[in-house]
Chains A and B, each alone.
Chain A
Amino acid sequence: MMNSAPTPVPPILSLEDVTVRFGGLTAVDAVSLSIGEGELVGLIGPNGAGKTTTFNVIAGVYAPTSGTVRFAGRDLGRSGPADRAALGIARTFQNIRLFGSLSVFDNVRVAMNLHATTGPGHALLRLGRFRDDEANVARRTEELLELFDLLRFRDAPARSLPYGHQRRLEIVRCLATRPRLLLLDEPAAGMNPTEKAGLIELIQRVQKQFSLSILLVEHSMKVVMGCCARIAVLDFGAKIAEGTPAQVQADAKVIEAYLGENHAQSLTHH
């Protein structure tokens, strides 16, 4: 079939009229959103706006009451987090969830299992192929850690790292699963202004170096405005605005949503 126009590339992620109801409460109200390949999109809104629920729907923790979530055009249905990780969706957690008893090295190494070519049988037989694979895994883990200046902590228990390093490690662990879409859940939580600046730089570097699409849920306006090409705003579960940072900042509905709630943050600071 000859066609002069190239087939349009579907957005890497698209939410189509996604609604999530918990009993009588509508947490997410007919939200539609799409993220293009290589885009860095932010999702903001006052407390209780439904950001985390939307995030968790994309991550596969909740199934939507109605609506569809598509990843690279394919309906995700009721697949769980592990299936989505296999498809190329990685996520971080608001309260960092590292494997506390494992070393920094092993936290990343264990994430290499997703694309491993050897399994338990090989671990028992320990033939050449196993040893080669293990060497490859070790090498790739070291490379990743080195890239983010964490290699010097390789043998330390993950829980002994300072908070900022733990955040970084969690992101590095995600990268080990070779994602196409990275979901970041309030990565700036608990950070001071310097750390936030470092985070912005980290997110941008990660996006460029690994050619990722990123969805960033954040409270910190500084981080969101600093990173994102496009921002969607939720309030009471519904999307009330979407656009560039400048557009969103000027949007009357957005201002009212934040000020109307007596929200302490202004839209230009933090």
Chain B
Amino acid sequence: MSEFLQQLLNGISLGAIFALIALGYTMVYGVLRFINFAHCDVFMVGAYVGYFVGQHVPEHTWWGGLTALAVAMLVCAVLGVLIERFAYRPLRSAPTLNVLIAAIGVSLLLENLGQHFFSATPRPFPELFPVYSWEIPHTGLLLYSNQVLVIVFTVFLLFALRFIVMRTRIGIAMRALSLNRQAAALVGINNDLVIAATFALGSALAAAGGILYAVNYPSIDPLMGVMPGLKAFVAAVVGGIGSIPGAALGGLLLGVVETFVNGSEWSTYKDAIAFGLLILILIFRPAGLLGRNVREKV
């Protein structure tokens, strides 16, 4: 029983990271109706920024960790805005396929630049935050502070995001854009600004995800974003692409499922599990668990 609970905890922690990345995918998809393939590489950049900041702050301190987090989120927010400005905005009226390909190009560019400048060999990630562990009495459950950190932080960010999207003007503008881009422009919303803000937010979340991931799996390399990115995208689709709660739910689900598979005899297939889940959802409930079916107007 305690084994099950331990795995569950691990799964929730992993799921929280997937959720953070998935949020970026779902927000951009909601606003622009395309999959930002480069998102997973922003995740990687966030981890690397954390690595470099970590060289200049003492390990095992809260302020050190938070500084790294803040810097990474800021840098990646800027990166996200720049990518959107130069690679996606010129293609806003082009067929979706063109933007998709451009996104793939940006993704590959980031990965290969990373391999060129940081070398492909993995680097150990500094222990940014203080490490504690608690044993819960009577259950034999071990709680690690890094895992708790991930969960707490993700919950906090989720609430913050929900607040932004529901209560602030820019958040409402984002929702308007996702429903009808032309109408939003017509009522005076500055689409360019809102889209830039969406990318900034999503990229900041990815950066946070990158650091929290690296804190728990302390080895980073330029291609570290590919698998988590794909899985996070699957999570976003499973939850209902375009839906923020959906991304959170999907991430959680995927994290838990993958962790249990990893602990079973099918562990070598764990990477394929995410895609299997994707296919199942797309066959039986294409709108996702919390999504809504949007039909093209005839």
Contacts and interface: CB of A to CB of B under 8 A. Distances in A.
Direct contact of A and B (CB under 8 A): yes
A61 B296 CA distance: 10
Interface in A42-60: 56, 59
B298 interface: yes
A56 B298 CA distance: 8
A210 interface: no
Contacts of A56: 298
Interface in B6-52: none
Interface in B265-298: 298
Interface residues of A, number: 4
A93 interface: yes
A61 B298 CA distance: 8
A59 B298 CA distance: 11
Nearest to A61: B298
B203 to A, nearest CB: 35
Nearest to A94: B298
Nearest to A81: B298
Interface string A88-103: 0000010000000000
A93 B296 CA distance: 13
Contacts of B298: 56, 59, 61, 93
Contacts of A59: 298
A29 B298 CA distance: 20
A20 to B, nearest CB: 13
B295 to A, nearest CB: 8
Interface residues of B, number: 1
A164 B298 CA distance: 20
A60 B298 CA distance: 11
A50 to B, nearest CB: 15
Contacts of A61: 298
A93 B298 CA distance: 7
Nearest to A56: B298
Nearest to B296: A61
B177 to A, nearest CB: 22
A71 B220 CA distance: 64
A95 to B, nearest CB: 9
Interface in A39-85: 56, 59, 61
Interface string B118-140: 00000000000000000000000
B287 to A, nearest CB: 14
A55 to B, nearest CB: 9
A143 to B, nearest CB: 30
A51 to B, nearest CB: 13
A246 to B, nearest CB: 33
A182 B298 CA distance: 17
Contacts of A93: 298
Nearest to B298: A61
A161 to B, nearest CB: 21
A61 B295 CA distance: 10
A166 B271 CA distance: 50
A226 to B, nearest CB: 26
Interface in A99-117: none
Nearest to A59: B298
Nearest to A185: B298
A241 B245 CA distance: 47
A170 B237 CA distance: 37
Nearest to A91: B298
Interface in A222-241: none
B94 to A, nearest CB: 15
A218 to B, nearest CB: 17
Interface of B: 298
Interface of A: 56, 59, 61, 93
Rank and list the top 4 A-B pairs by shortest CB-CB distance, nearest first: A61-B298, A56-B298, A93-B298, A59-B298
4 contacts: A56-B298, A59-B298, A61-B298, A93-B298
